[in-house]
Amino acid sequence: MKITVKTALEMLNAIGQLDSYQNGADKPTLYRYGGDTRLQIAITRRKLRQISEDFTDARNALLLEVSDGVGELPALPLEQGEERRKALRQHVSFNERERELLLAEVELDVKALSIEALKLEDNPIPATVLDLLGDLIHAP
């Protein structure tokens, strides 16, 4: 499936929440899935994590490029002047190009999780997590 990098990052956050939940106890309560579902979740998480790592590498390279090799954006001086305008241009350039990175499409080659496999009747997975999983889940 083709998704944006931004969507992949959201899915990675959501899929990371499919292991367990707090149930009023000291230890987290594991969600109950079959072994095949846990494996599928792990494979999907690994592939999403790779997209996240690639994004981080690209973002860091972009930061080096925009900051003339410094590796961080300068603080905006309070007083108006050429220094402030130059720093502002760097910030704007970085933000625009970072947005392009986030909106870039990537191919995610994974099998969707079925609603049935998530056993929603036994597992209180929050609707917000299900929403962020998006196309990673499908109805039978």
Quick: pLDDT tens for 119-128. 999 999 999 9
Q: Where are the alpha helices (DSSP H) in 1-140?
A: 5-15, 35-66, 82-103, 115-118, 127-133
Q: What is the domain partition of the chain in residue ranges?
A: 2-138
Dump pLDDT digits (tens) for 70-79.
Answer: 889 988 888 8
pLDDT at site 129 = 95
pLDDT tens figures, 25-37 = 788 999 999 999 9
